[in-house]
Structure 1
Amino acid sequence: MNAKQTGSFYTPKSLVNYMSTYALEKGHSLAVLEPSAGDGRFIEKFYNYAKKIDAIEIDNYKINNLTDKWHEKVELICADFVQFSLESERKYNLIIGNPPYITKKVLSETERNKSLELVKYWSLSDSIFQNLWVSFVLGAVKLLDHNGAIFFVLPFEFLQVHYAEKLRVFLEEKFNVIEITTFKESVFPDIEQDVCLVYLTNKEGIEPIVKYTTVKNVEDFKPLEYSEIKRNKPLKKWSNSILNDDEIELLKDLSVKYTKISDLGDISPGIVTGANSFFILNNSAMQKLKSEPYTIPILQKGSIIGSLLLFSEDDFNQLVTADKNTWMLNLNGIETSELSLELQDYLSNGRKLKLHERYKCGKRKLWYEVPVIQSGELMFFKRYNRLPRLVVNKAGIYTTDISYNVRLHGEFDAQSVAFCFYNSLTITLCEYNGRFYGGGVGELVPSEFKSLCLPYKRVDKQKVQKLDSMLRTNKPIEKVMEFVDSVVLNDLTENDLELLKKIRMKYLMRRLKIEV
């Protein structure tokens, strides 16, 4: 396996220095464990202070290198840390390091079973084990002394992904002090993976607290942002501890006043073809295959329609004219003998490419019969950059799973719903409810989208058209939101609106790593 597969990205020495100094200042130096020793960077920092250091490393070559360098207080153990944590009765008052980030898909069955045994030890759901760093966290908790501390470099996703939610709740039950440090600049620029520092410990006689600090980079640990959470625990997502208690309570208090997205109608993801490049054609290819009777209009990528509120038939026709991929083969219930020879040859070529063996295609009775999911009056694009987008589907087209299709109940007007979406509260809640990935791409999974609230009211067509024009002409986002706020959030105070803006800016600065 390469470095990315084995999670072998060494911790920058400046970060090792910071973490070690911080732990020493907290008095954690009696018995220290480094569960993934690597080249021994953490050992070096504690050698002159700790009474006992255990260093575990699975790679025998690395252990031999460390043996030449360290002796006396350091016990070098060539072992699988997960196995060690299951078997050992040792206790430590500091467990520190940068565990490997290895998806369970590349682990052997034996390795996966060890991790699942550790999950079961804590009576947790198997679903939390998706990556080896989870096992290192659970193993560290098992080996920790009552008043000890864990200090790990973890992927930022730990703070927000759904599969780790039960792990976060578990840790909030185990520790009354949780300190999170995030970085404005990338720590590991060679990988699209943001990281954070997580410090876990217990202090007697204090109210449970989550502290969240943002610093510039591994060379500059001066706090840029700092917040504390005491009242709003447990947190569903630790990434939201970027806000303080007052800010979280404002979002919660305002949310209950308005309509939930889930109450607007039926919502479902779009079509999953299993092979977009094969099933979704441009106009030239459709004509060449003589497949027009067996196609349906579809939007494959949200980026190709630009910024707008109302997606019309004219907008779709412009995509067709530009020869964008806008037609999906819909061969459900069609005998292949009815198809043109060109299309029959095309399907035969699909088999040669082994498309029928792909996961989604292989589950179908006939691999080329793509299940068609009903379109909606509204399309919400689940991934976004600076501004989430809800668009009126006036063209009545289908979409791939890039979007969630909303089929409204009768009492709601599609254009009014789309207009109302672009208010300060709902857009801020997209940041609060959602998550983001490398490069700053924001995303809402279906449950997160449905839990948004929306201050719905009927909006006249003139205002709808004005908003569509503002979006198409790329008016500043703040101007767009101010216009919508003046219509749908005119019951809020200026102070509330300013606080919503401040909250949203916090999220954007972190997600996009920019000044806004």
Structure 2
Amino acid sequence: MLPGDPKDDAALRKARGAFFTPAPVARFLADWAVRDPAHAVLEPSCGEAVFLHEIGRRGGHVGPLVGVEIHADSAAASERSLREVGIDATIYARDFFSHNEFGAYDAVVGNPPYVRYQDFAGESRARAREAALRAGVTLSNLASSWAAFTVHSALHLKPGGRLGLVLPAELLSVNYAAGVRQFLMDHFTSVGLVLFDERVFPGVLEEVVLLLADGYRTDGGAGATHMELSQVRDAEGLARLTASRRWTPPGNGAKWSAGLLSSAGLSAFDAAVRSDAFTVLETWGDTTLGMVTGSNRFFTLSPAKVEALGLAPSDVLTLSPPGSRHLRGLGLTAATLRALGDAGQATSLFRPAHEPSPAAWHYIQSGEDLDVHHAYKCRVRTPWWRVPYLRPADLFLTYMNADTPRLTSNRARAHHLNSVHGVYLRDGLRTDGMNLLPVAALNSVTLLGAETVGRAYGGGMLKIEPREADVLPVPAPDLVRRNADGLRQVRPAVAARLREGRLLAAVELVDEVLLLETSTLTERQLRALRRDHSALTARRIARGKANGGR
């Protein structure tokens, strides 16, 4: 059915991931992908067949035009609308993943359905994952529908064919798309992206990019080694698109978020992270998830409650309280932990190491009376009340952030829960890592890097998982050691600015020591980094607000 049909309302279209493509977008992709009137063209999930209309509108096209649409009434209406304007096209009313009989094409163009993983389930998901697996791409259960659709679309190309698709911008940043990103680089000789400053689809919150993948390969030869990135304000700007810039993305399906940077920002960022001055956090140590209790309300205790319960010292462990608000400075000291406990925060973890004391047995029984032992994490371990142990980490890394991830020295030797990550520093790097890395990591390169390796979460928060933290760009050990005196000198001022909530003012002090005085970056490059960090942060926060905190 075409837009406006009362029997195909917005809710039904959203359920199957159908969003009608603006004509300027369809025209741009059709013009880019279809360069010969004899080309065979496929538009999968064609909806109202806007791409086929754009190809036929030019006149003189003699190659086969084929569409596939799962919604039977939409398929019939599309075929009828094409016929009415004299465009000869065949529309199959079928599930694109159910059949492999659609043939091979010189170009595949379209706007894949976007159905989130929560609604993309059952037989449809199984068929989609099987289709992607035929191309060697394994998709997790978190994958939305477009991911498999992209891979399956490519499998319908002839050697040398072009793939032009409208895709959600999460192609650049979500972990589940790693296989799709690598597939595109491996199977096309040229890969390009068009990015938009504004949202393209009226009334749709998702941001999109245009994928321009050329030179499909089936011979196992080398794929693309770089990408061509273009940026326009909106869909109308596509008609004036002329310039692009070359970018070499990281390998192994790593995120393409850095592609959102400006030319100047990307150049400066690459200059820093590819130099000896910077490395990744994994060089310093291993980042791990914290302990999972199954019921923080039961297992985390304030000092007053430990005393009231009469628990023995062997019944509890020293704990960094749940959450990370108290980890926004440079270090968690024993004095800070005592102050948090005096304020009523939970600085103890109930975890008898061996035989619980009589008071601990009484507390365990009270937990069973409240059915704590039936919580999932509790009922799958024996005994249910003994939380799996992790030794105290050297550093804490906050993973849900309104501004940027913070590294904090664990001078209190406290244990941590899964509300923060722990960083276990490598031998030979522990002293410098504990003393200097939390300060050194407050620089503009690392702040911008966090926006590219992390991902936006509900409410505009920046979330960073351990494997994302592994590739977070941070100052290299040699750079930190060479500038140890300068870092120690600015540390008190940095700490003061952090206490005042002035993160960027603290970063300016560190930038001067690590980036400017060492000639790692010029003033001009640093300004470009800061502009891009501000832009990406604003973009993340705006998306979070627009998505209503989802």
Whether TM-score is above 0.5 comes out as yes
Matches for 1:364-513 after TM superposition, within 5 Å? 364-408=381-425, 409=427, 412-413=431-432, 414-437=434-457, 439-451=459-471, 452-454=473-475, 455-457=479-481, 458-459=484-485, 463-475=490-502, 477=504, 479-489=505-515, 491-493=517-519, 496-513=522-539
Matches of residues 328-367 of structure 1 in structure 2 within 5 Å?
328-331=349-352, 333-334=354-355, 338-339=359-360, 341=362, 343-351=364-372, 354-355=374-375, 358=376, 360-367=377-384
Alignment of 1:72-471 (within 5 A): 73-84=88-99, 86-103=100-117, 106-108=120-122, 110-125=123-138, 130-186=143-199, 193-202=206-215, 210-218=227-235, 228-229=245-246, 236-243=254-261, 244=263, 246-247=267-268, 249-254=270-275, 256-257=276-277, 261-281=281-301, 294-296=315-317, 297-302=319-324, 304-305=325-326, 307-331=328-352, 333-334=354-355, 338-339=359-360, 341=362, 343-351=364-372, 354-355=374-375, 358=376, 360-408=377-425, 409=427, 412-413=431-432, 414-437=434-457, 439-451=459-471, 452-454=473-475, 455-457=479-481, 458-459=484-485, 463-471=490-498
Amino acid paired to 1:466: A
Q: Deviations over 1:309-351 (max 9, x none)?
A: 2333444345445544554332554559653646523333235
Q: Aligned equivalents of 1:232 and 1:502: distance in 2?
A: 19
Q: 1:170 to 1:264 in 2, by over 3 A?
A: closer
Secondary structure, counterpart of 1:369 in structure 2: coil
Q: Which string of whole-angstrom CA distances, capped at 9 and with x for unpartnered residues, describes residues 418-460 of structure 1?
A: 2222233333433444444465433443344334342312347
Change in 2 beyond 3 A, CA 1:4/1:219: farther
Judge conservation of contact 2:16–2:114 (CA < 8 Å) in 1. yes
Deviates further, 4-13 or 270-279: 4-13
1:468, distance to aligned residue in structure 2 (A): 0.9
Q: Report the Cα distance in structure 2 between the residues aligned to 1:275 and 1:66, rounded to whole angstroms.
A: 54
- Indicate how the Cα distance of structure 1 residues 249 and 487 shifts in structure 2: closer, same or farther if over 3 A, else same: closer
Q: Is structure 2 residue 70 aligned with structure 1 residue 58?
A: yes
Amino acid at match of 2:259: S
Query: 1:281 touches 1:328 (CA, 8 Å); kept in 2?
Result: yes
Which ranges in structure 1 are unaligned for 5 or more consecutive residues? Answer: none
Amino acid at match of 1:18: P
Q: Is the 8 A contact 1:182 1:213 kept in 2?
A: yes
CA contact (8 A) 2:396 2:420 kept: yes
Q: Secondary structure at the match of 2:170?
A: helix
Aligned residues: CA RMSD: 4.2
1:250 deviates by 0.7
Closer, same or farther: CA 339–257 of 1 in aligned 2, 3 Å: closer
TM-score by length of 2: 0.76
**Distance in 2 (alpha carbons) for counterparts of 1:495 and 1:289:** 57
Q: Is 1:33–1:54's contact at 8 Å kept on the other side of the alignment?
A: yes
Instruction: Note closer, same or farther for the CA distance 1:342–1:4 as it changes in structure 2 (3 Å cut).
Output: farther
Following superposition, the deviation at residue 140 of structure 1 comes to 0.8
Q: CA deviation at 1:469?
A: 0.9
Shift of 1:81: 0.8
TM-score normalised to the size of structure 1? Answer: 0.80
**Could you report, residue by residue, the CA deviation over 1:366-425 in whole angstroms, capped at 9, with x for unpaired residues?**
333221222223211133333331112233322222333234435524122222222333
Q: What CA distance in whole angstroms lies between the structure 2 residues aligned with 1:149 and 1:345?
A: 65
Shift of residue 511, structure 1, vs aligned partner: 4.3
How many angstroms does 1:139 deviate by?
A: 1.3
| Greater CA drift, 479-488 or 237-246 | 237-246
Shift of the alpha carbon at 1:471? Answer: 1.0
Residues in 1 aligned to 2:20 and 2:297: alpha-carbon distance in whole angstroms: 41
Letter of the 1:171 counterpart: L
Pair 314,338 (structure 1): closer, same or farther in 2 beyond 3 Å = closer
The answer (yes or no) to whether the contact 2:41–2:108 under 8 Å persists in 1 is: yes
Structure 1 stretch displaced more, 279-288 or 467-476: 279-288
Whether the 8 Å CA contact 1:336–1:344 is kept in 2: the answer is no
Letter in 2 for 1:456: V
Report the CA distance shift for 1:60/1:253 in structure 2 as closer, same or farther (over 3 A): closer
What is the alpha-carbon distance in structure 2 between the residues aligned to residue 509 and residue 224 of structure 1?
22
CA contact (8 A) 1:284 1:323 kept: yes
Q: 1:449 to 1:120 in 2, by over 3 A?
A: closer
Give the counterpart letter for 2:480 in structure 1: Y
After superposition, the Cα gap between the structure-2 partners of 1:495 and 1:351, relative to the gap in structure 1 and judged at 3 Å, is: closer
Q: Deviations over 1:18-53 (max 9, x none)?
A: 221213433627544332234555455455346554
In structure 2, distance between residues paired with 1:362 and 1:195: 43
Q: Distance in 1 between matches of 2:299 and 2:311?
A: 11
Cα pair distance change 1:276/1:434, threshold 3 Å: same
Q: 1:476 to 1:271 in 2, by over 3 A?
A: closer
Q: Offset at 1:490?
A: 5.3
SS at match of 1:487: helix
* Distance in structure 2 (CA, Å) of the matches to 1:129 and 1:289: 43
Q: Contact 1:269 / 1:403 at 8 angstroms: preserved in 2?
A: yes
- Residue 522 of structure 2 aligns to a residue whose secondary structure is helix
- Say whether residues 1:17 and 2:32 are aligned partners: no
Q: Which amino acid aligns with 1:396?
A: R
Q: Does the 8 Å contact 2:331/2:408 carry over to 1?
A: yes
Deviation at 1:191, TM superposition (A): 7.5
Equivalent residues of 2:191, 2:224 under 8 A apart: no
Shift, 1:491, TM fit:
4.9
